[in-house]
Amino acid sequence: MTTPSIPATIADADATWLTDVLRGSGAIDAATTVTSLSTHQIGEGVGLMGELYVATLTYDGGDGPASVVVKLPSTHEENRQQGINLGMFEAECRFYSELGEATGTGLPAIHLSIIEPGTADFVIVMEDLSHLEMVSQSEGMRLEQAQASMRVLADVHAAWWGKVQTPDLEWIPSLDGERIQMVDQLLPQIYPVFTGGFADRLPDGGVELGEAWSTRYFELMSGLAARSPWTLLHQDYRVENMLFGDPAAGDDVVIIDWQGLGRGPGAYDVAYILGGSMPVELRREHERDLVAIYHARLVERGVTDFSAEHAWNDYVYAHLLGGLAVSVFTGGTLDLSNERGRDLVGGMAARHFTAALDHGGFGILGE
């Protein structure tokens, strides 16, 4: 069977196209046909690099999934170009097609994941998980959700612990690689643009911390990369890229949106989600216990070269990394024409800068 084409718009993902996709993934048999569908967009302003649609399906000749999710690139040219420059679209498609099975946990079922290399032309068709709970970034995680996020993250990290510094995975950006060097060169120019739009959302001392931090990003990232074992990183591990089942029923957490895929120490992801996806006071009260849950799960999954103290120290350090960079880079470069996108970035920035200050950011920068 030939690989389906990449639709230019959601209108091109019609019944014939979805029939080919679902037959190719084995979700429907050769006698079953998608006869009609209706689509609606979800998560507007949440995924700044992509657009998500739920397609509700009807069939003839057999049964299939009641609905699927179709992911296409952003229609904003600035965002599309940024995704190309940073290799984000290609990283997610290759993750699902090449690494998903080995990751083995916390992922949606994928029916199709293809891209035209070097472009923003891609499509991902995945199972519809809208029956699971989605949590808004502004609301933030409840404690039990934060605990679940630590367990599934540790499962993913343990699956790749010490296995990613190999030639066949060099295509995945690292914390001390070219992508970080590019961001490092741009941050001093972007930071004034970011503060022009978001300084009023930052805590006391935040603007000054950012000024000192913005000229040292590659140094800081390289510092973490040199001090701890490497694993596979999500690098945009936040609550709106997760779906939660019922904890009482033992349902798993599902992680989506792997465009930021990277390699490096796991503390990057741990600090990113706890710093940006929890209400500040809840994070302050429970973060030591949450990092302990993450570390205990790593040990349970066979990791032996990483102490609890090391995990905590890396977590403290990592609050000067991805959370600040994503907030500043997104707020200073991407199209945020919808109010939802502006609120998302502003809220993330407020929490991440607060966490960096809480954990002695000025002191770390002075070391």
Instruction: Kindly tell me if the per-residue pLDDT of 47 is higher than 60.
Output: no
In which band, very low, low, confident or very high, does the pLDDT at 71 lie, cut at 50, 70 and 90? Answer: very high
Provide the H-helix boundaries in the chain.
Answer: 15-25, 77-85, 88-94, 100-103, 143-160, 178-198, 206-213, 217-227, 267-276, 280-300, 308-318, 322-333, 339-358, 361-366
All structural domains of the chain with their residue ranges: 10-127, 143-366
| C-alpha 30, offset from chain centre | 35
Mean pLDDT in residue range 58-63:
97
Instruction: Kindly tell me if the per-residue pLDDT of 220 is higher than 90.
Output: yes
Q: Which long-range contacts (CB under 8 A, 24 or more apart) does 310-316 make?
A: 310/228, 311/267, 311/270, 312/288, 314/224, 314/227, 314/228, 314/265, 314/266, 314/267, 314/270, 315/267, 315/270, 315/271, 315/274, 315/287, 315/291, 316/359, 316/360, 316/364
In which band, very low, low, confident or very high, does the pLDDT at 78 lie, cut at 50, 70 and 90? Answer: confident
Cross-strand bridge partners of residue 70: 53, 125
Q: pLDDT digits over 297-356, tens only?
A: 999 999 999 999 999 999 999 999 999 999 999 898 876 667 777 888 999 999 999 999
In which band, very low, low, confident or very high, does the pLDDT at 7 lie, cut at 50, 70 and 90? Answer: very high
What is the phi/psi pair of residue 284, to 5°? -60, -40
Mean pLDDT in residue range 218-243:
96
Q: Which of 104, 98, 225 lies closest to 156, judged by CA?
A: 104
CA–CA separation, 123 and 115 (whole Å): 7
Residue type, 185: Q
Which architecture does CATH list for 10-127? 2-Layer Sandwich (3.30)
Which architecture does CATH list for 143-366? Alpha-Beta Complex (3.90)
Q: pLDDT digits over 110-164, tens only?
A: 999 999 998 999 999 999 998 899 999 999 999 999 999 999 999 999 999 999 9
Mean pLDDT for the chain overall? 93
Provide the H-helix boundaries in 214-321.
Answer: 217-227, 267-276, 280-300, 308-318
Structure tokens at 64: 């299939």
Distances (CA, A) of 128 to 4, 52, 68: 20, 11, 5
Mean pLDDT in residue range 85-96:
90
**CB-CB contact of 121 with 115 (8 Å):** yes
Q: Collapsing DSSP states into helix, strand and coil, what is residue 212?
A: helix
Q: Which of 156, 101, 106 lies closest to 129, judged by CA?
A: 106
Structure tokens at 223: 């510092």
Q: Collapsing DSSP states into helix, strand and coil, what is residue 111?
A: strand
